[in-house]
Structure 1
Amino acid sequence: MAEGPSISMFPELVVCDPLHRRYILLPPLPDGLVASVERQDDEFLGWSCEPSLIPLSDEEAALVEETTFRVIWSASCKTNMAVFVFSSTTGQWRATASQTWSDLVIDRQPLYFIRRHLVGGCVYWVLPMNNTDLLVLDTRTMEFSIADLPPGQWNRQDIAIVDAGEGRLGMLSTGYGNANGESYLCYTIRQNKGESFGEWQMEKISLGSWYRYRIVGGTEKYLILLRIETPKYLSLSPPIMEFCKLDVRTMQVERMCAESSGFSGSKVCLYADFPPSLLSSPTV
């Protein structure tokens, strides 16, 4: 959560527990780390920064205290991608991976990333249109790599990468078409491990007719979908919008609540499994 106007590349961060209304103010990035990031003249296109909590893997969780958490802060600059990590164990920030776009076999800095996904100890960024790649950061080794998107016609603006179970990676995307107004979910699972995505198994699941779906948030095992009514006949009434939960293991969709903000769920955050260390922290 950034405080005040965006005049700094790295504003103050607060980690919040919305359920118990608790928070922790993280220490600022040391000047030496900030100085290592090349600041561009054009702040809108020259760089972008994105913080997020890193879920612990099962192996990591078994080796650390229950209250441990980490925050990753990525900085996309004109010439390179830099990453900083905060550990609640040390209470400090440290610099990790920093690679140029040419090292990653990317011609130039992407103007933006469509969406970020944290799955199985890795961070995946979907690159813009006309690019068939995913930028991948392994948070265990802090090394970058490039992976290919699976074949097929994907709605790149509405992709989710999830944990498909048994160490497999899954990818979902929504679609809409045909005269019956049918919505569907494209779901593909990587069948083998390795540096590339390897062989995939594609499946298309019907979500019914006269509704459109958008992926607006999620975790490794659940997605939040915004379901928007698309009436068969013209209506003067506003469309019904509601949030639904999708279990990526069973592919079952369950209605959660109505969407009443009028913003089409564009800023939805899913709260799940936050470490209990915040229970002794200040209240909001």
Structure 2
Amino acid sequence: MASPPSPIADLRAPRLLSLTDELLEEIFLRLPTPTDLARASTACGSFRRVITDRGFLRRFEAVHTPPFVGFVPEGQDGFYPAQPPYPSAPLARAVANAADFSYSFVPIGRWLKPWRPRDHRQGRVLLECLPKYDDRYDFKRVVFLMDLELVVCDPLHRRYVLLPSVPQEITAQHGRIVDFDAFLAPAGQDEEETSFKVICTARNKTNLFAFVFSSVTGRWCIAASPSWSSLGTEAPGYRKLAYPDYACGCFYWTGHWVGKLLVFDARKMEFSIVNSVPSSYLIESSSKSGIVGGAEGTPLMFFFGSHREDDSLDVLHITKLNTSEPSGQQQMEKIIPLARQCRYSICGVAEGFLFLHGIPGGQPLAHRRQRRNVANREYFLLDVRTSELEKVCEMKHDFFRVHPFSGFAPSLLKPCV
């Protein structure tokens, strides 16, 4: 007759098993790429159990930059994958074959108009529909905030969530509100992976507004409504607020006030105005800039300037933004010279990357009738940590505002039929 197991063995076995899982997690966290992680998960059942745990995957995503696989043009259907020899080109091709970036799985809205992508973040795409999409920038025609239809979808798994309209009762007391725009807010570390937020900004002559939809409550609310005077500035007239960049928990609007940035802190739900770089640093007032989170958790502002006499667009300047002292002067950090064969412009930002559009020197913009006769445009990713510039793809299209697609949404949206 077998002797009963030792009480000590009973106590040690679970601890040893737990310790083994903890050690495996620490080992797997040190794998360099998600591809290596996927290969390790096929080795045995124990490896797969540890690697597929959502808690571990969130840890892995927190310490590894999500792989860039392609980009989605703003306001247009379609997905443009990274091309060889870019490292993630095989993964990009697989995403292009598996996902539906025509959004045919999303039912047509009440305005019987096509859905248009407005934002992308963490593998999800925010789609919008207006009564007449081409009238978005026509201020002679009033389009009310409650007319806006929004959908958050996952093109890879073909799932979606249709957002309710912004209730008229929370906007009626503020009079006419114009210039509304919607974008996705990233999920916080302490939030459920099935949750998401959509922020919609709007304004009138006296106030700036932020309406927030939470998937947890299923409702819209006014998160902030400061007056322009309390921000120490004036409303930007009829100029539409450009699409914001996101870095380190905040959204940034550039190009509306000389030497100033409009900031919305998504953690505190607060607007503020901070100093930017002086206009004398910029080559021209219309020069685009981009804001990306740095390695130390500090937002970095990138813009084109020149230290040469001919003022050619071949020098990318970096400055570290000091948001803790809004009135403080920003300090120049670094200058990155770029190859002279292209004229560059900033067309998007991603987590830790700046996305650049390059036109071969002397070439015009590629209009639809000209695309057969122009040289291919080149698109690049600049790694903020290493300052390395890698070509992602080339084509005859000129896209000046894109949403880089990186990372994959977890199975967080309920299946839709």
TM-score range, shorter chain: 0.7 to 0.9
Query: Is the 1:225–1:243 contact (alpha carbons within 8 Å) kept by the matching residues of 2?
Result: yes
Secondary structure of the residue that 1:89 maps to in structure 2? coil
Distance in 1 (alpha carbons) for counterparts of 2:253 and 2:311? 34
Alignment partner of 1:253 is 2:389? yes
- Deviation of residue 9 (structure 1)? 2.5
- Deviation of residue 199 (structure 1)? 4.9
TM-score (norm 2): 0.58
Output the amino acid matched with 1:241: R
Correspondence for 2:254:
126
Residues 8 and 99 of structure 1: CA distance in aligned 2, closer, same or farther (over 3 Å): same
Alignment partner of 1:20 is 2:20? no
Distance in 2 (alpha carbons) for counterparts of 1:180 and 1:192? 29
Query: Is the 2:176–2:204 contact (alpha carbons within 8 Å) kept by the matching residues of 1?
Result: yes
Secondary structure of the residue that 2:281 maps to in structure 1? coil
Report sequence identity in percent: 34
Distance in 1 (alpha carbons) for counterparts of 2:172 and 2:207? 14
Number of residue pairs the alignment of both structures matches: 267
Alignment partner of 1:159 is 2:293? no
Correspondence for 2:374:
238
Alignment gaps of 5+ in structure 2: 1-126, 134-142, 364-369
Output the amino acid matched with 2:375: P
Secondary structure of the residue that 2:287 maps to in structure 1? helix
- Deviation per CA, 1:131-169: give whole Å up to 9, x if none: 221111111221221100123512553111111121322
Correspondence for 1:227:
358
Output the amino acid matched with 2:192: E
Output the amino acid matched with 1:113: L
Query: Is the 1:79–1:109 contact (alpha carbons within 8 Å) kept by the matching residues of 2?
Result: no
Query: Is the 1:126–1:133 contact (alpha carbons within 8 Å) kept by the matching residues of 2?
Result: yes
Distance in 2 (alpha carbons) for counterparts of 1:202 and 1:249? 13
After superposition, residues 55-204 of structure 1 pair within 5 angstroms as 55-56=186-187, 60-61=188-189, 63-110=190-237, 111-128=239-256, 131-151=258-278, 152-154=280-282, 156-175=286-305, 183-190=314-321, 193-204=324-335
Residues 167 and 94 of structure 1: CA distance in aligned 2, closer, same or farther (over 3 Å): same
Query: Is the 2:207–2:227 contact (alpha carbons within 8 Å) kept by the matching residues of 1?
Result: yes
* Structure with the bigger percentage of strand: 1
Output the amino acid matched with 1:270: P
Output the amino acid matched with 2:331: W
Output the amino acid matched with 1:73: C
- Deviation of residue 265 (structure 1)? 0.5
Residues 147 and 175 of structure 1: CA distance in aligned 2, closer, same or farther (over 3 Å): same
Output the amino acid matched with 1:276: P
- Deviation per CA, 1:199-236: give whole Å up to 9, x if none: 5233221111121111111224112111110059xxx9
Match 1:49 to one of 145, 167, 180: 180
TM-score (norm 1): 0.82
RMSD: 2.7
Query: Is the 1:37–1:82 contact (alpha carbons within 8 Å) kept by the matching residues of 2?
Result: no
Correspondence for 1:44:
none
Distance in 2 (alpha carbons) for counterparts of 1:182 and 1:118? 24
Distance in 1 (alpha carbons) for counterparts of 2:183 and 2:228? 22
- Deviation per CA, 1:74-105: give whole Å up to 9, x if none: 00222211111111121111111101111211
